[in-house]
Amino acid sequence: MDMKLSVIQFTLILLLASFANYAQCLVIDIKKYGAPNGDITSGLTKAWKEACTSRTKAKIYIPKGTYNLLQIEFRGPCNAPIDFHVDGMIKAPAEYTKMDGNKQWIRFDHISHLTLLGSGVFDGQGAAAWKQNDCGINKNCRKLPMNFGFGFLNHSIIRDITSKDSKTFHVNVLSCNNVSFIHFTVTAPETSLNTDGIHIGRSTDIKILNSNIATGDDCISVGDGNKQVMIEKVTCGPGHGISVGSLGMYAYEQNVEGLFVKSCTIKNTQNGVRIKTWPSSVGAIHASDMHFEDITMINVSNPVIIDQEYCPWNRCSKQIPSKIKISKVVFKDIRGTSATKEGVTLLCSRSVPCEEVLLSNIDLKFKGTPAIAKCINVKPILQGNVPACTR
């Protein structure tokens, strides 16, 4: 009897603690601060200040409806966890000339325990900006703002929301730790230039799970300095695929270690899973411990590719080989259709050839017949059903 009473008492204590925490949660409906002409910029600035200074967990809520939002930064550190719950349609200024291209449209900075969630859509209204994007041929081009910047976040979650029609990259993740994107959606047409879905730089323990990304550039790009990145159950397409790099364009880049891409579907893209480095690269870093497994390709032009002569718009010299060392790479259980005859292309550097590259159970078809593999400056380990390498 005494034991039963102790269990009951303990359960009641937990329930009371739970109710107490719930009661203490500060809830801030954006309507509290108003939205003159549908603009919530001032209201969100005030709501963030209230939430960030709260000593208890806070929730900012944007209900269903359509709102306008100018460029804004949500900066920490904050005193307690914050839930940023958005169910509305949030629109950026359509005129890119009214925005600072050196900043993101919406930036979250130096925050721990942030949850950005809801059924909301963040519409960057990028169509006019895409027509003016000449950065591929003009080094002095006008910079355009990304939809989201997540900088120096810790232990945070972005869940269920949608990023639509960003003027350039949709999401930039920089110097973050333990951040997860779950059921995250990116949507933009194939013709939208330089609109990478999620770009990750110099971060650790980043997860992108059960998400859908359709855009005009890389669905996900993993830049330098990243460790332990997990990409699982992501549908990518249209776009340029899931990429590591490009690496080697800038001085003082950092190594890439520990990438896991698993159970993804890539369809109607220029590339599938790709590692790309610049020739005549500035630095001499390495990219290693990268796993691409259980991937379905549907009409992908370059399903499996290592390209150490990545040089878009002829902005470099291919005469000088890449200094980026690539090693310990696994391509396993990759199947589907290739839009070109070469389903596997491993074009490694003649200066630092790729090492410990495994091809295992690669079943790619081009017009109903097995696709071929092209291997240069690498001697891959072959397991199971894989195409023989040619030069």
Residue 360 domain-assigned (yes or no): yes
First-residue to last-residue Cα distance in the chain: 78
Q: What is the pLDDT of residue 139?
A: 72
Residue 350 lies in a domain: yes
Active site residues: 217, 240
171-174, strands of its sheet edge to edge: 72-75, 106-109, 148-151, 171-174, 198-201, 220-222, 242-247, 271-277, 302-307, 342-347, 372-376, 389-390
In a domain, 177, yes or no: yes
Looking at residue 136, what is its pLDDT?
A: 66
Using the structure block, give the residue that is written with the tokens 């003159």.
36
Quick one: the chain helix, strand, coil %, rounded to 5?
A: 15, 45, 40
For residue 33, being part of any structural domain is answered with: yes
Q: Which domain holds residue 373?
A: 24-131+144-390
Indicate the number of domains in the chain.
1
Q: What percent of the chain has pLDDT over 70?
A: 94
Least confident piece of the model among 11-25, 69-83, 354-368: 11-25
* Residue 210: alpha-carbon gap to chain centroid: 13
- Rounded to whole angstroms, how far apart are CA atoms 360 and 384? 6
- Is residue 138, in this structure, part of any structural domain at all? no
Residue at 2 is within a domain: no
Cα 223 to Cα 59, 189, 289, 323, 362, distances in angstroms: 32, 23, 15, 16, 26
For the chain, the maximum distance between any two Cα atoms, rounded to a whole number of angstroms, is 83
Contact 138, 132 (CB under 8 A): no
pLDDT over 70 at 7, yes or no: no
Q: Is residue 322 part of a domain?
A: yes
Domain assignment present for residue 13? The answer is no
3-class SS at 51?
A: helix
- Note the pLDDT tens digit of each residue in 96-144: 998 999 999 999 999 999 999 999 999 999 999 998 877 766 777 788 9
Q: What is the CATH number of the domain that holds 352?
A: 2.160.20.10
Claim: this prediction has a pTM higher than 0.85: yes
Residue of higher predicted confidence among 171 and 315: 171
Name the pLDDT band for 284 (thresholds 50, 70, 90).
confident
